Structure 1
Amino acid sequence: MYSDPMSTPDRLIEATQELLWERGYVGTSPKAIQQHAGAGQGSMYHHFAGKPDLALTAIRRTAEELRGTAGRLLDAPGSAYQRISGYLLRERDVLRGCPVGRLTMDPEVIASDALRAPVEETIGWLRDRLATIVQEGVDRGEFSSSLVPQDIAAAVVATVQGGYVLARASGSTDAFDAAARGLLALLAPRPDAA
């Protein structure tokens, strides 16, 4: 399943990332992690204090990966609208849902301050980054001065997360795509923008 050069800790972390996304915290047993990673019980406990420690490391890595992907799109050249559009319309595994957003539905993750922290930080980072881009669009006259950047940022995040839910419920990516297109239509630059 994993290439030989990948270290045992990395295999364990990657396996945990996949299983958390697929099964949630409770459904991700140490045995399942070890089997998925092709690692023995001793190696798991040699590198990590236990399932909570490994899960926290995996959640942090998932959060970093999401920030990296979103950051590349949001920091790309182009207008504020183009960058937000690039983020909304990027290729993603819609029917699997968001690997970070799905963690918000996991009672064990939400009940743990430590496990919840990287999720909360990542969503906060995304909202702040989007709000900055919306403000840039307002300042350049691309968007209406009546827009409240933090509100628009929250709407973008809610559209993405809600789009995942709608798509999973219908079994089709069409619902996600429609939500993204709808939000982009509402954000379309003013005709008189330079």
Structure 2
Amino acid sequence: MVGGVERSSDTKDRLIEGTRQLLWDRGYVGTSPTAILRRSGVGQGSMYHHFRGKSDLVLAAERRSAELMQAQVREVFSGEGTGLQRIVAYLLLQRDVLRGCSVGRLAGDPEIVADDELRAPVRETFAVLNRCLSEAVAEAQAAGELDARLRPEETAAALAAVIQGGYALARAEQSTEPFDRAIHGALDLLGVPADDRVPVGARSS
């Protein structure tokens, strides 16, 4: 019986992860039930055994992407270093630039943004990011690392926009260079010396 539960749990997990990867690459419309079953490697009927339908499974997959991104954000901003150092560390994280952000790409999906429930994980994730960034900006200001005239929440929003916009520019050019330029431009605006920057090379999520 325990073994059966484990197999059921494994099937559900594979469905969620397979759907998460499809959403990342194809969006809501491209994530068909057939594609989900093929990507997940599970038998026909498994999806409806564990989920009410496609929308229910998509929401579970979104929540997983949101949880992963939020955990990554919290890990960086709860780590060692000054407020500015943590901001720099987040901007220079290893990322799969040409694939884009698994959460950010959902914000451009018409089916997801039109549904309050499906949009919620995206909204909540960016709220976590903005809060962590704004707190780090305020901390850096208090330590004299950043201009006291900066408004923490607005600066945080601008930095988040640089990352998401950088993804779009990189995908348009099919090159990581536009993303790198956007990140280093943000670091220039923050007054971060070149010697204090970690090299921005190949990225993986």
TM above 0.5, yes or no, is yes
What is the identity, as a one-letter code, of the residue corresponding to 2:85?
A: Q
Q: Is the 8 A contact 1:81 1:188 kept in 2?
A: no
Identity of aligned residues (%): 53
Alignment of 1:187 with 2:170, yes or no, is no
Distance in 1 of aligned mates of 2:108 and 2:17: 21
Equivalent residues of 2:73, 2:132 under 8 A apart: no
TM-score (norm: length of structure 2): 0.88
Between the aligned partners of 1:42 and 1:189, the Cα distance in structure 2 is 54
Tell me, yes or no, if structure 1 residue 106 matches structure 2 residue 86: no
Asked if the contact 1:80–1:136 (Cα under 8 Å) also holds between the matched residues in 2, the reply is yes
**Alpha-carbon distance in structure 2 between the residues aligned to 1:10 and 1:189:** 42
Aligned to 2:32: 29
Residue of 116, 134, 142 corresponding to 1:131:
134
Deviation string 1:57-92 (CA, Å, 9 cap, x unpaired) is 000010000111122112211111211111111111
Report the counterpart of residue 86 of structure 2 in structure 1.
83
Separation in 2, partners of 1:8, 1:55 = 15
Relative to the length of structure 1, the TM-score reads 0.93
Q: How does 1:13-162 map to 2 (within 5 A)?
A: 13-162=16-165
- Contact 1:163-1:176 within 8 A present in 2 as well: yes
The one-letter code of the counterpart of 1:100 is V
Cα gap change, 1:115/1:44 in structure 2, threshold over 3 Å: closer, same or farther? same
Query: 8 Å contact 1:142–1:189 — kept in the other structure?
Result: no
Q: What code does the residue aligned with 1:8 have?
A: T
Question: Structure 1: which 5+ runs fail to align?
Answer: none
Residue-pair matches, total: 187
C-alpha root-mean-square deviation of aligned residues, in Å? 1.5
* Structure 2 unmatched runs, 5+: 1-5, 194-205
Deviation at 1:188, TM superposition (A): 2.2
Question: What stretches of structure 1 move > 2 A for 4+ residues in a row?
Answer: none
How far does residue 189 in structure 1 lie from its aligned partner after superposition? 5.6
Residue by residue over 1:87-137, the C-alpha shift from the partner in whole angstroms, topping out at 9 and shown as x without a partner, is: 111111000011111001100000011100010111111111100110111
